[in-house]
A and B are shown apart, each in its own frame.
Chain A
C-alpha cells in the first residue's frame, strides 16, 4: 500500500480494496519500524489517526465522500495542531501544546485527511538541511548520511521513504522545493496569499507560504485544492476563487512558452544538474512546449536581499518567545532581564540567534535605510524582472537547487555556503510567485529537481507542466532502496 501515490490510494479506498483504518495501521507500523533511522517525525499521533481513519471509513460507508477522505498525511511541525505539541523544531516550544488548529490543518481535516504525525524541520524553518532542528537532523532516505534538505526536511524524508503518501510543508526561501528536489518528490509553493498562514508559526511573514509535498503533480493538485482558499483570519490571504487544479491536469502543453532564465544556468553550476535540467527541457519540447532564453538581471541580489528581509521580519516575529506566557522558561530567573536573556539564550539554537541578531541590526536606527530599505527596493526590482519575463513566456524553468543532497555536517560551519542552497528558489518568494519542484533525474543515486515558476495564481499551469512531464518520464516513480525490506 505504501508504494501507492495519494491518487492511487484514493482509488483503492473508493474501490474498497482496503479501508482507511487498514491503510493507517500499515503506515503507522511502517513509521514505527523505519523512522528511528530517519528521524522524520517528531510527534506521532497514532490514536488521533485511528479515530480519523475510522471516521473516514464510516463516512465512506454512509456515502459521503470528502475529497481526501481517509488519506493519510503528515503535517510539518510548524502548523499549530489543537492539543498536540507544536514545537517548530525548537527547544523554545518543546513543551508547547497548541490550543488551536492552523487553517491548513483544519482544512485538511475537513477534507477527511488522516494526520499521522508532525514532521521534523529546521528550527523555526531556518535552514536548508534540517540540521538546525532541536530534535536532531532528519535523514535522507536515498542515503541516510545525507541531509534531506530543509526546512521541510522531515516532511520530504517521510514522503520519500513511503512513510506517508503526502505531507504539508512551508516555503519561505525554498523550504518546500529544495527538500522536494533532494528527495525526488514533487513539491509546490503556491502564490503568496493563496493558502492561509493562520496557525503557521511565522518565520518571515511576507515570504512564508504553505504548500504540499507529494510524489506527483496529480497528488499536489489534489492537496492544494484542499489547502487553498480565502481565510478571513489572515489579512494577506487573497479572496479569489480556487481553481480546480486536478481539472487543469490535461497533460497538454502544446504551445506552452517556457523561458529559461540565463541566470539559472551559471558557469559554476554542477554540470550534471545542468544536464538533467536541459534533458527535462528537451522532453517538454517534445511534447509541444516552445522554449526560449529570458533574463532575470537582478537575480544575484536575491540572496543578499532575502538575508536582510527574512531575518528582519523574524527578529520581530520571534520576539513573542520570551518565557513569559508559554514555551521555554529558564530556571530560577533573577530578574525580568535575566528571564528574557536566559530563556531566549537557552531556548533558541544558534542559527535562529544568528538571524535574530542580523535582523535586529538591519532594522536598527541609522541602518534601516542602508539594509532594510535597500533590500525592499531590490525586492521590487526582482519582482519587476519576473513580471517582465512572465510577460514574454508562460513558465520559467531551471534547476531547483545548485546541488544534490550533501553530507550531514558538511556545511554547518559555513552559513553563507548553506544560504547559497536557496539561490534559485529565494527570488520566487521575494516575488510571491507560485513554483514547484519535480524530480528530473538521478546523479550518483541522488535525485535532481527541476523548478517550474508560474505567474501569480497560475498554479494550475505549472502543475499541468509537471503532470505532462510525469506522463512522459518515470523519475517521479523512482524510490529509494530505504525501507524496501519492510
Chain B
C-alpha cells in the first residue's frame, strides 16, 4: 500500500529594513557583539517599542504579492517565555490578528507541472539575540545585535506532497521576497529560515496523520533531504506497527537524519496577549493603493509576458524569471542581440547560469555584460562565428580578454567565408583520408551518415573550427559524390 506525505512550511524571512522593527538600532549583519543593541533591544527597564513603519509596508507588499487578504487591522501580541537571548522575557509577535491573511502562490516543478499552494498567514515579529556557547570558559555569552531584527513569518497550508514541492515553494517565496526587495533571502546568513511540518497518511485518506516539526532546515538542499528523510522515517515507523509522536525534531545535516528535540507534553504555554505598548495597526485603502503603485512586476506575470512576447517555452521562462536580476539580464541581452530572444534565453540558461553556478557567483557578479553577450549572439546570427566558436568567445570575454569583436578579431576566430579556401581544405582532407573515402563510397547509404560525420570533423579540425558548417557540409557532399 502506498503512502502520501503532507507537508507545511513555516518560513521566517528577515526583512531588509535598515533599522530594527521596534527600535532605531541598525540591522547590519556581522558587527561586534552587542554594538547594535539599543536600550530597547537590551530590554532595559522603562523602554518601549515603536513600530518601524517601513517594516509594515514590506509585510503588506508581500500580502499583495500573494493575493492575500490584507485586513486593515492587525495586532501585536506578546509571546512569553524565558530564554537568555530573549531580553524582555517575551517576543513581540502577532497572534490572532496577523498583518497578512490567507493567500496563495504557484509553483512550477522541473517536469513543468504547476501547482497552487495556499498560504495561511504571514505575521510580523522580532528576532531574538544569539547565545554564544564557545569562548567564554564554560559560560554563555549573549549577543543582542540580532534582537529586534524584523521578521516576517510565512505559514503555508499543508498543501505540499513531497520534498521537491517544498523546495519549489521555498524557492518561489525566495523569488517573491527578492523581487519585492523586502529581503535578501540569504539562507546562509539566516535571512530565510525554514521549519517543516511533516506527516504521512495512506494514499486516498483525507484525515491528516500525526505530524512532526523539523527545525533547522536552512538550505534548499537540506529542505529536500530532511523532509524526504523524515517521510521515510515515519513510513518505517508506521509500517512496523508503531505510531508517530507529535514532536519537534532537529535536522542534522552532517548525519542526514532528524532527531527528537521535545515532545508535545513538554510544549510551552506562551500566554499570548495583545501587547499593551503598541497600538493596533490600522491600514487604510490609501496605504494599499500607494503600495500597489510601487509593486514591481512579479515572477508569474513576468513569466507569462516572456512566453507571450518572446515566444519562450514555459520552462525557459520559469528559469529566467526566478531571479529578478536574471530576468533583467535576459531582457537587456535580447535588446543587445537585436531582438533574438530564443538564442538569448539558451545562452543565459545554459552557458551563463552554468558558469555562474560553477564559479559560485551571483548574476550581479557575472563577468560578461548583457551587451557583450548580445554582441556574441549577433555575431552568430550574422555568420561571423559559429555557435561553437561563440563559446570560445564567451569564455574569452569572461576571462577579461576583451570585447567579443576584439576577441574575434585578435584571435582570428571569424568563420571561413571564402569558399575557395575551404574547398582546398576539403580536398586536402579527402586526399589525406583516401581509405575512408573508399569505404564511404562502398558503404550502404544508411551507414554513410555516420561516416560523413567523420569528414566534417576532420574539416573542422583542419580549420580550427572556423569552417562554416553548412558550407563545409555542402562541399564535402559535393566532393564525395564526384
**Mutual binders A and B:** yes
Report which A residues bind B (CB closer than 8 A): 79-80, 86, 88, 93, 96, 98-100, 102, 197-202, 204-206, 232-236, 312-313, 315-316, 318-322, 324-326, 336, 340, 360, 363-365, 368, 372
| Given A232-B50, A363-B273, residue A320 in contact with residue B84 (CB < 8 A) | no
A313 in contact with B276 (CB, 8 Å): yes
How many whole Å from A62's CB to the nearest CB in chain B?
33
B277 in contact with A320 (CB, 8 Å): no
B142 in contact with A324 (CB, 8 Å): yes
Give every chain B residue within 8 A of A340 (Cβ-Cβ): 82
Give every chain B residue within 8 A of A99 (Cβ-Cβ): 39, 44
Cross-interface CB contact of A236 among B47, B88, B277, cutoff 8 Å: B277
CA A371 to CA B431, docked complex, whole Å: 101
How many whole Å from B129's CB to the nearest CB in chain A?
10
Give every chain A residue within 8 A of B90 (Cβ-Cβ): 316, 319
* 22 A-B contacts (beta carbon < 8 Å): A80-B46, A96-B45, A197-B48, A199-B47, A200-B46, A201-B45, A201-B46, A233-B50, A235-B48, A236-B48, A315-B80, A315-B271, A318-B89, A319-B90, A320-B87, A320-B88, A336-B84, A340-B82, A363-B271, A365-B269, A365-B271, A372-B273
Give every chain A residue within 8 A of B277 (Cβ-Cβ): 202, 205, 235-236
5 other A-B residue contacts (CB within 8 Å) besides A324-B142, A325-B42: A98-B46, A100-B39, A315-B271, A316-B89, A365-B269
Give every chain A residue within 8 A of B87 (Cβ-Cβ): 320, 324-325
How many whole Å from A85's CB to the nearest CB in chain B?
12
Residue-wise interface mask of B (2-43) relative to A, using a CB-CB cutoff of 8 A (1 in contact, 0 not): 000000000000000000000000000000000000010011
| Given A316-B89, A340-B82, residue A102 in contact with residue B46 (CB < 8 A) | yes
B279 in contact with A235 (CB, 8 Å): yes
B51 at the interface (CB under 8 A from A): yes
CA A94 to CA B147, docked complex, whole Å: 26
Give every chain B residue within 8 A of A364 (Cβ-Cβ): 269, 271
Give every chain B residue within 8 A of A205 (Cβ-Cβ): 276-277
CA A371 to CA B82, docked complex, whole Å: 23
How many whole Å from B345's CB to the nearest CB in chain A?
50
CA A325 to CA B50, docked complex, whole Å: 22
Give every chain B residue within 8 A of A318 (Cβ-Cβ): 89
Give every chain B residue within 8 A of A336 (Cβ-Cβ): 84
A235 in contact with B273 (CB, 8 Å): no
Closest to B37 in A: A325
How many whole Å from A365's CB to the nearest CB in chain B?
5
A235 in contact with B278 (CB, 8 Å): yes
CA A338 to CA B34, docked complex, whole Å: 25
Cross-interface CB contact of B279 among A79, A102, A236, A312, cutoff 8 Å: A236
B49 at the interface (CB under 8 A from A): yes
CA A198 to CA B49, docked complex, whole Å: 9
Which residues 93-122 in B have Cβ within 8 Å of A in the complex?
A: none
Closest to B140 in A: A336
| Given A316-B90, A322-B82, A336-B84, residue A234 in contact with residue B48 (CB < 8 A) | yes
- Give the one of A233, A321, A364 with max B CB within 10 A: A233
Cross-interface CB contact of B45 among A98, A204, A232, A368, cutoff 8 Å: A98
Give every chain B residue within 8 A of A315 (Cβ-Cβ): 80, 271
B273 in contact with A322 (CB, 8 Å): no
How many whole Å from B141's CB to the nearest CB in chain A?
11
A319 in contact with B50 (CB, 8 Å): no
How many whole Å from B156's CB to the nearest CB in chain A?
24
Closest to B84 in A: A324
Closest to A319 in B: B89
| Given A99-B39, A360-B271, A363-B271, residue A320 in contact with residue B276 (CB < 8 A) | no
- Give the one of B42, B84, B276, B279 with max A CB within 10 A: B276
Residue-wise interface mask of B (39-78) relative to A, using a CB-CB cutoff of 8 A (1 in contact, 0 not): 1001111111111000000000000000000000000001
Query: Contact size class for B?
Result: 20 to 34
B78 in contact with A316 (CB, 8 Å): yes
Dominant SS at the A interface?
A: loop
CA A326 to CA B46, docked complex, whole Å: 13
Give every chain A residue within 8 A of B78 (Cβ-Cβ): 316
A320 in contact with B89 (CB, 8 Å): yes
A368 in contact with B84 (CB, 8 Å): no
CA A364 to CA B276, docked complex, whole Å: 17
Dominant SS at the B interface?
A: loop
B271 in contact with A235 (CB, 8 Å): no
CA A315 to CA B78, docked complex, whole Å: 11
Give every chain B residue within 8 A of A368 (Cβ-Cβ): 271, 273
Which 5 pairs between the two chains have the least Cβ-Cβ distance? A319-B89, A363-B271, A205-B276, A206-B276, A199-B46
Give every chain B residue within 8 A of A316 (Cβ-Cβ): 78, 80, 89-90, 271, 273
CA A86 to CA B44, docked complex, whole Å: 12
A320 in contact with B45 (CB, 8 Å): yes
B80 in contact with A319 (CB, 8 Å): yes
Give every chain B residue within 8 A of A312 (Cβ-Cβ): 273
Which residues 362-408 in B have Cβ within 8 Å of A in the complex?
A: none
Cross-interface CB contact of A198 among B48, B89, B279, cutoff 8 Å: B48
How many whole Å from A437's CB to the nearest CB in chain B?
25
Closest to B279 in A: A235
How many whole Å from A7's CB to the nearest CB in chain B?
30
CA A201 to CA B277, docked complex, whole Å: 12
Which residues 283-311 in B have Cβ within 8 Å of A in the complex?
A: none
Closest to B267 in A: A365
Closest to A202 in B: B46
How many whole Å from A104's CB to the nearest CB in chain B?
10
CA A79 to CA B47, docked complex, whole Å: 11
How many whole Å from B330's CB to the nearest CB in chain A?
45
How many whole Å from B250's CB to the nearest CB in chain A?
19
A319 in contact with B276 (CB, 8 Å): no
Closest to B23 in A: A233
- Give the one of A79, A232, A234 with max B CB within 10 A: A234
Give every chain A residue within 8 A of B42 (Cβ-Cβ): 325
CA A198 to CA B38, docked complex, whole Å: 14
B45 in contact with A319 (CB, 8 Å): no
Give every chain A residue within 8 A of B88 (Cβ-Cβ): 319-320
Give every chain A residue within 8 A of B82 (Cβ-Cβ): 319, 322, 340
Give every chain B residue within 8 A of A236 (Cβ-Cβ): 48, 276-277, 279
Give every chain A residue within 8 A of B45 (Cβ-Cβ): 80, 86, 88, 93, 96, 98, 201-202, 320-321, 326
CA A320 to CA B83, docked complex, whole Å: 10
CA A472 to CA B455, docked complex, whole Å: 122
Cross-interface CB contact of A235 among B51, B84, B89, cutoff 8 Å: B51
CA A336 to CA B89, docked complex, whole Å: 14
B44 in contact with A100 (CB, 8 Å): yes
CA A236 to CA B80, docked complex, whole Å: 21
Residue-wise interface mask of B (451-481) relative to A, using a CB-CB cutoff of 8 A (1 in contact, 0 not): 0000000000000000000000000000000
How many whole Å from B279's CB to the nearest CB in chain A?
6
Closest to A324 in B: B84
- Give the one of B42, B48, B89, B269 with max A CB within 10 A: B48
A235 in contact with B49 (CB, 8 Å): yes
Give every chain B residue within 8 A of A322 (Cβ-Cβ): 82, 84, 89
Give every chain B residue within 8 A of A201 (Cβ-Cβ): 45-46
Give every chain B residue within 8 A of A365 (Cβ-Cβ): 269, 271
Closest to B42 in A: A325
